[in-house]
């Protein structure tokens, strides 16, 4: 049996209308062999988690340029936990200060990527982290 492709939900949460970076990342992940669902602009945390459930994704990538990262990432994590979806990788990027990256990592957010990050680095991270999470779930008999 062939392992299913990694499914990634790419989102632009909040009021930020700058979506070029999200579209570039979505294309790069597709080029790396992943299935990508792009939600478009102005997504709320509940809309993001609902889409993640409906699309049965392995990862969510949030593109943040609105300085709302300290509100939106924790809220998405909270909703994922409430729905029993802790296995979904929450990652993202944008203009996020280093001290906020550390705080979000402590909460359970995956690696965050800043402007200028090579697209290959993002794809490798998502593949490796989703693979690790799938292996953990398989070993626990959850898959």
pLDDT at residue number 14: 84
pLDDT at residue number 19: 86
Query: What is the Cα–Cα distance from 86 to 6, expressed in whole angstroms?
Result: 16
* Long-range contacts formed by 51-55: CB under 8 A, 24+ apart: 51/9, 51/11, 52/9, 52/80, 52/85, 52/88, 53/83, 53/85, 55/7, 55/9
pLDDT at residue number 55: 98
pLDDT at residue number 8: 98
CATH number for the segment(s) 7-137: 3.40.50.280
Query: What is the Cα–Cα distance from 115 to 49, expressed in whole angstroms?
Result: 25
φ and ψ at 34, to 5 degrees? Answer: -95, 155
pLDDT at residue number 141: 87
Mean pLDDT by 10 residues, the chain (143 residues): 88 86 95 96 96 98 92 98 97 95 98 96 98 94 78
pTM of the model: 0.95
pLDDT at residue number 45: 97
């Amino acid at each position: 049996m062939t392992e299913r492709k990694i499914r990634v939900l790419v989102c632009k949460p909040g009021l930020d209308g700058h979506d070029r970076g999200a579209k570039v990342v979505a294309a790069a992940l597709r080029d790396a062999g992943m299935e990508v669902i792009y939600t478009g602009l102005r997504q709320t945390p509940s809309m993001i988690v609902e889409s993640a459930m409906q699309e049965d994704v392995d990862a969510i990538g949030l593109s943040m340029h609105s300085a709302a990262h300290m509100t939106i990432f924790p809220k998405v994590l909270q909703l994922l936990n409430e729905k029993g979806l802790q296995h979904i990788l929450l990652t993202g990027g944008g203009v996020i200060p280093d001290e906020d990256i550390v705080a979000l990592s402590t909460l359970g957010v995956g690696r965050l990527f800043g402007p200028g990050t090579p697209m290959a680095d993002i794809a490798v991270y998502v593949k490796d982290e989703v693979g690790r999470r799938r292996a953990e779930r398989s070993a626990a008999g959850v898959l």
